[in-house]
Amino acid sequence: MTEQFDAVDVIRTKRDGGELSPAQIAWVVDAYTRGAVAEEQMSALAMAVFLRGMGREEIARWTDAMIASGERMDFSSLVGSGARSATADKHSTGGVGDKITLPLAPLVAAHGVAVPQLSGRGLGHTGGTLDKLESIPGWRAALSNEEMLAQLRDVGAVICAAGSGLAPADRKLYALRDVTGTVESIPLIASSIMSKKIAEGTQSLVLDVKVGSGAFMKDLASARELARTMVDLGADAGVRTSALLTDMSTPLGLTVGNAVEVQESVDVLAGGGPADVVELTVALAAEMLEASGITGVDPADALRDGRAMDVWRAMIAAQGGDPDAPLPRARESETVVAGADGVLAELDAYRVGLASWRLGAGRARKEDPVQAGAGVVLHAKPGDRVRAGAPLLTLLTDTPERFARAREALEGAVVVAREHGGRPEPASGGRGVVLETVR
């Protein structure tokens, strides 16, 4: 087959700061997916994009080309048949203790909206939604498109793995970016996320863009740029899209891991749970419901009256899980205590996530197994008073030889400030979890 372009010419165009044409973009994404563009050539192009950037139209074309590499899902029959009032989805850019998808999907579904939540596994210090749910005995992540549609019709919510037919170009390019130092490129992050979400076929999408030490975006300016880019991509594709910028300077909730985060999610669905997890769950639910045309309701009511819990139990059971089964527990534990009296001023999200990963809750490579019971339990959050010798963190693992490296990861993670007539603000400056909204 004679190729339309030469990969080297495409690389040179972007290397020299030029704009890739629609035809160049369509060709290079397709040719890379089918193997006509070599890995080292796409590596060079990804680095050129990382260094030179892309304009709005380029990013939109790149996203379209990624979508065109695979199938597009269609949930319109759910709305057309009256089974559900609308379809809505949420995506998080990844954080530490970020179990929000677990209570959020059933909470939104409890209001009659179908929530097709295609999720992933953890890699590095950020946890994966599927890893968390797989700690529930019997639960399975792999569903066919037909099974997804049936579950959305009957239950209203599904959390599962994306099929191999959805944006295969992204799957291949994501793995390449991970080993070439180009993960942090905003055009490549935005097109990666939005190609899958647009191909998924949902009517509206709410993005949770994390900001802080435990997130890919460390500062508000870069988080705003990523959020704006993704919201524009959604609008260009006809998907109603908005983004919440949310704090990830400290872990969400009081648990980081897999089974421990499932238990905390169940606590939220039962009307309890940590205040920051409830705040973000309700804020995202309200945004998803508004995008679906549902206003004048307080999503928290469905947490208090048990409707969201009913959907959770049905969702877990529909995927083979036992919602009443005991969750796995780690065989070993070790406690980190406060060294002095004072106020916990900082608890660094990245370092806590790294410790959880080293304890066995995460993976360094896609094929690595995870421990269901491993992780970290927090006994205090920034702003809390602590006493010398009081527990701050409990480390959990099945393999006690991991404790030493986990403790190393936590060096500098905890800052206890002495009180001198006033209570110091936490590192976040006393803000709530939600920092800004981008529409």
Active site residues: 91, 170, 177, 192, 196
Distances (CA, A) of 121 to 33, 125, 252, 366: 22, 11, 18, 8
| Cβ(42)–Cβ(173) below 8 Å | yes
Distances (CA, A) of 436 to 232, 248, 439: 16, 13, 10
Task: Establish how many alpha carbons lie within 13 A of residue 66's alpha carbon, considering only the half-sphere containing its beta carbon.
Answer: 28
- Number of Cβ within 10 Å of residue 56's Cβ equals 13
The four Cα atoms 180, 132, 346, 393 give a dihedral, to 10 degrees, of: -120
Q: Which two tokens stand for residue 124?
A: 């590095």
Residues ≥6 apart with Cβ < 8 Å to 211: 217, 218, 219, 220, 223, 245, 246, 247, 248, 249, 435
Rounded CA-CA distance 254/86 in Å is 33
Distances (CA, A) of 208 to 100, 267, 329: 10, 22, 30
Distances (CA, A) of 54 to 57, 172, 188, 235, 430: 8, 20, 9, 18, 36
Rounded CA-CA distance 418/276 in Å is 25
- Number of Cβ within 10 Å of residue 391's Cβ equals 14
Which phi and psi (to 5°) does residue 423 adopt? -95, 115
Nearest of 64, 62, 65, 41 to residue 53 by alpha carbon: 62
| Cβ(243)–Cβ(231) below 8 Å | yes
Q: Which two tokens stand for residue 366?
A: 């896609």
